[in-house]
Chain A
Amino acid sequence: MAPIVGKFKAAVNSWVAYSAGLRHLFHKPYTLRFPEQRYAVEAGFRGRHLLHLDRCTGCGICAWICPEKCITIVQRGDRWFPQYFYGRCCFCHFCTDYCPEFALEETVEYDIAEYTRELLVWSPERLAKPPAKKDNKYVFSVNGSRGASQVPEQGH
Chain B
Amino acid sequence: MTTTEKPADTTGMQAMSPTEPGAQTMTLSVGPQHSGSGHMRLIVELDGDIIVSAMPDPGYVHRGIEKIIELRNIIRSIPVIERPSIIDASNLNHAWVKAIEELQGVEPPARGQYLRCLINEMNRIMSHLYWLSIYGVFLGHTTMFMWPLGDRELFIDLAESLTGARITYSYLVPGGVRRDLPKGFAEEAIKRTKYFEKRLDEYENIFFKNPLFTSRAKGIGILTRERAIALGSTGPTLRGSGIDRDLRKDEPYAAYGELDFKVHTRPGGDSYSRAMVHMDEMRESSQLIRQILEKLPSGPVRRKAPIVVPRGETYARVESARGECSFYMIGEGGDKPYRARYITGSYRNLAAIPEVLKGVRLADMPTSWWSIDYWPVEADR
Chain A residues near B (Cβ < 8 Å)? 10, 13-14, 16-17, 19-21, 30, 41-42, 44-46, 65-68, 90-94, 97-98, 106, 140, 142-143, 147-148
Contact = CB atoms under 8 A, between A and B. Distances in A.
Contacts of A21: 143, 206
A65 B75 contact: yes
Contacts of B151: 148
A10 B157 CA distance: 37
B154 A92 contact: no
Interface residues of B, number: 37
Q: Which of A46, A91, A92, A93: most chain B Cβ within 10 A?
A: A92
A142 B202 contact: no
Contact of A93 (B150, B157, B164): B164
Nearest to A147: B195
Contacts of A65: 75-76
Give the dominant DSSP class at B's interface.
helix
Given A13-B211, A20-B202, A148-B151, A140 B157 contact: yes
B229 interface: no
B212 A67 contact: no
Given A13-B209, A16-B206, A67-B76, 16 more contacts: A10-B215, A13-B210, A16-B210, A20-B202, A42-B182, A44-B161, A44-B182, A46-B164, A46-B165, A65-B75, A67-B72, A92-B165, A92-B170, A140-B157, A142-B195, A148-B151
Nearest to B149: A30
Contacts of B377: none
Given A20-B206, A67-B72, A148-B195, A42 B153 contact: no
A106 B170 CA distance: 15
Nearest to A140: B157
A109 to B, nearest CB: 13
B161 A42 contact: yes
Contacts of B209: 13, 16-17
A98 to B, nearest CB: 8
Nearest to B192: A142
A30 B212 CA distance: 26
Contacts of A67: 72, 75-80
A20 B205 contact: yes
14 contacts: A14-B210, A16-B205, A21-B143, A41-B160, A46-B164, A67-B75, A67-B76, A67-B77, A67-B79, A67-B80, A68-B79, A92-B79, A94-B75, A147-B195
B227 interface: no
Given A30-B150, A97-B178, A142-B154, A45 B164 contact: yes
B191 interface: yes
B168 interface: yes
Nearest to A110: B166
